[in-house]
Amino acid sequence: MAASIPKTQKAIVFEKSGGPLLYKDIPVPTPGPDEILINVKYSGVCHTDLHAWKGDWPLDTKLPLVGGHEGAGVVVAKGDNVTNFEIGDHAGIKWLNGSCLSCEFCNLGFEPNCASALLSGYTVDGSFQQYAIAKAIHAASIPKEADLAQVAPILCAGITVYKALKESGAKPGQWVAITGAGGGLGTLCIQYARAMGLRVLGVDTGAPKEALATELGAEIFVDFAKTPDIVSEIIKLTNGGPHAVVNVAAAEKPFSLSCQYVRPRGTVVAVGLPGNAYIKSEIFSTVIKAITIKGSYVGNRADTTEAIDFFVRGLVSSPIKVVGLSELPQVYELMSKGEIAGRYVLDTSK
């Protein structure tokens, strides 16, 4: 039997960029005809949520805003037009909350590039609340056997790195370097890469991140704070440079460095989104080495299903720490200082 839906719920709300993160009661929203209402049990905290709160990016957020876009929970209500979910199903809020499904980009499966895309925890309220709305056609379907706390980070971090690895074109047996390897996206990227048959070199800093990255499958770890010449070191360690680099670091510098150490004919993928930052690659070597530099932005519905399938099959695990929803400000503080190895997940009941 479906649980009764309360009128109000706990959420974390901010009213202006960088303003107080208020843990308070707000109304439970009602789903429209093409929407589902998800009782969010757990939500991952992505660095994107921190950018959204700080107002780092050249794109305004909705205000006031409930952030969050890695929400895993149970469908408790649905609109009349929804046919792909039933009450009681497990479902996920992801970054791409909705898109038009009829433009050039949606038609080709490039839904993240839709000009009318709705973004959870950015242009619409997200998963840092107990009850969140998603467009049914875009919501992630989560198999019942998946643990809801552990599957949460797959809904952004997992999908994003899985897609970026596909976009990198790296083939089994080849080297992929991952910058930001010890963070939320990075620790999942290591595992997807391994599951896809790639050899992983992780770049990040500090003993806890080194230990975690190595445990999860990085063959080599390069500590950027302790390595004077990262470029020549990485070229030496990978016998000519990695065939691909997936940059998930939340900082500018590693992007340009990766253009220097990537192997000739290799691909540099930009995924991390440090604000007001640029990738610089010297033209002569870009041409002579015939390298590719490209961006990769979350994933489409098919990527979502595939990324969740890797998780359900046990090919990737979630390196998470679970704390209460009310503790989001402390999580942001640790994240700002670069002190999180893996991912924090919020339990919305606390």
Residues forming the site for ligand 8ID (CB under 6 A): 46-48, 51, 156, 160, 179-180, 182-186, 203-205, 209, 224, 248-251, 253-254, 271-274, 296-298, 335, 338, 340
Sequence-distant (6+) residues with CB within 8 A of 286 are 259, 293
Query: How many Cα atoms are found within 13 Å in the side-chain-facing hemisphere of 321?
Result: 15
**Is 141 within 8 Å of 85 (Cβ atoms)?**
yes
Measured in Å, how far apart are the chain's first and last C-alpha atoms? Answer: 24
Least separation in angstroms between CB 6 and Zn ion? 28
Query: Would you count residue 48 as binding Zn ion (CB under 5 A)?
Result: yes
**Count of residues engaged in binding Zn ion, rule: CB under 5 A:** 3
Between CA 172 and CA 236, with CA 170 as vertex, the angle to 5 degrees is: 90
Residue (175 or 310) nearer to Zn ion, CB: 310
Strand order in the sheet with 199-204: 220-223, 199-204, 175-179, 244-247, 267-270, 292-295
Least separation in angstroms between CB 56 and ligand 8ID? 8
Nearest-CB residue for ligand 8ID: 183
Answer with the entry of Zn ion, ligand 8ID, none that 268 interacts with (C-beta below 5 to 8 A by kind): none
Residue (154 or 170) nearer to Zn ion, CB: 154
Query: Would you count residue 52 as binding Zn ion (CB under 5 A)?
Result: no
Rounded distance between C-alpha atoms, residue 47 and residue 49, angstroms:
5
Least separation in angstroms between CB 339 and ligand 8ID? 9
**Is 13 within 8 Å of 22 (Cβ atoms)?**
yes
How deeply is 126 buried, as exposed, middle or buried, from its count of CB atoms within 10 A (0-12, 13-18, 19+)?
buried
- Please choose, out of 12-20, 48-56, 276-284, 310-318, the segment that lies near Zn ion by the rule CB under 5 A: 48-56
Answer with the entry of Zn ion, ligand 8ID, none that 281 interacts with (C-beta below 5 to 8 A by kind): none
Query: How many Cα atoms are found within 13 Å in the side-chain-facing hemisphere of 133?
Result: 20
Query: Would you count residue 212 as binding Zn ion (CB under 5 A)?
Result: no
Query: Would you count residue 46 as binding Zn ion (CB under 5 A)?
Result: yes
Answer with the entry of Zn ion, ligand 8ID, none that 49 interacts with (C-beta below 5 to 8 A by kind): none
Answer with the entry of ligand 8ID, Zn ion, none that 279 interacts with (C-beta below 5 to 8 A by kind): none
Answer with the entry of Zn ion, ligand 8ID, none that 139 interacts with (C-beta below 5 to 8 A by kind): none
Question: For Zn ion, which residue of 149, 156, 218, 271 counts as binding (CB under 5 A)?
Answer: 156
Answer with the entry of Zn ion, ligand 8ID, none that 66 interacts with (C-beta below 5 to 8 A by kind): none
DSSP string for residues in 252-278? SHHHHHHHHHSPTT-EEEE----TT--
Rounded distance between C-alpha atoms, residue 41 and residue 28, angstroms:
15
Rounded distance between C-alpha atoms, residue 284 and residue 267, angstroms:
16
Answer with the entry of ligand 8ID, Zn ion, none that 205 interacts with (C-beta below 5 to 8 A by kind): ligand 8ID
Least separation in angstroms between CB 30 and ligand 8ID? 29
List the one residue out of 241, 249, 253 whose CA is nearest residue 279.
253
Rounded distance between C-alpha atoms, residue 105 and residue 14, angstroms:
32
Answer with the entry of ligand 8ID, Zn ion, none that 77 interacts with (C-beta below 5 to 8 A by kind): none
Residue (32 or 206) nearer to ligand 8ID, CB: 206
**Is 99 within 8 Å of 174 (Cβ atoms)?**
no
Residue (64 or 208) nearer to ligand 8ID, CB: 208
Residue (148 or 222) nearer to Zn ion, CB: 148
Identify the DSSP state of 115: T
List of residues contacting Zn ion (CB under 5 A): 46, 48, 156
